[in-house]
Amino acid sequence: MTDGNDIRIDPEQLEKSVSLALDEPAARLGEWQIKPLAGGLDASNRLHHLSGQAHTPSGARPWSLVLKAIQFDEANPSSVQKIHDNKREALFYQSRISDDLTGTFVAPRCYQVNQEGDLTLLWLEFVREDLPKPWTMEQYGEVARCLGRFNGAYLAGRPLPDEPWLARRLQRTYVELAAQNIQPGVPQPITPRFHNWCASQMPPIHAMAR
């Protein structure tokens, strides 16, 4: 196994993911690199961007993918229904629900799900965002339409997936949890981290008012 920052990479797993990403069974690893990715809301998850060259029968081909390492909380084995259960993403990809989403709503491809000790490794498609930030109101509108078509298909009769690990009553649970810490009439502080994250994602106020 090869060291890659704070995670160890199995070359065989990497080569298999690369061959799936390129749709080239004969692909063999050439030079490659790994870099940590910033972001995410869960400290138990680590993201890495891997990229490099592969040797194929048609010549050298570049590749790029994301490795997500998820550390499970085995002290709480009944956490499947938790609001922030970190097993749910691996279960989602293993179930193949991602192959049958509606409309233009798609998930990144998952090439493999591997278990390494207390870590579950998701080998994922690298999706490059080409839109400049902050998004415009038109771009937010297009995303809202995509989400609306996705949700509307189930309101129109498409059966909901019934896997037991899917989150249910998500927004209601958020509200119920928040209500336990809110005192009526007392302003709630906004942390600098949350404020900065919102500022990086949302267009300026004057743009929203147009």
Which domains are present in the chain?
Answer: 2-125 (3.30.200.20)
| CB-based contact 4:48 (threshold 8 Å) | yes
Q: What percent of the chain has pLDDT over 70?
A: 76
Per-residue DSSP letters for 15-46? HHHHHHHHT-TT-EEEEEEEEEE---S-TTEE
Residue with tokens 């209601």: 172
What are φ and ψ of residue 69, in 5° steps? -105, 120
Residue 135's pLDDT band (cuts 50, 70, 90): confident
Task: State the pairing for strand pair 28-37/45-56.
Answer: antiparallel
Looking at residue 170, what is its pLDDT?
Answer: 75
Q: Mind listing the pLDDT tens digit for each residue in 98-120?
A: 888 887 888 999 999 998 888 89
Looking at residue 196, what is its pLDDT?
Answer: 66
* Mean pLDDT on 78-85: 54
For residue 11, whether the previous peptide bond is cis, meaning omega lies within 30 degrees of 0, is no
Q: Mind listing the pLDDT tens digit for each residue in 25-72?
A: 999 999 999 999 876 656 668 899 999 999 999 999 999 999 999 887
Residue with tokens 């081909």: 61
Whether residue 161 is predicted with pLDDT greater than 80 in this model: the reply is yes
Q: Which strand (E) or helix (H) includes residue 69?
A: strand 59-71
| CB-based contact 105:147 (threshold 8 Å) | yes
Residue 195's pLDDT band (cuts 50, 70, 90): low
For residues 63, 147, 142, 197, the Cα torsion angle rounded to the nearest 10 degrees is: -70
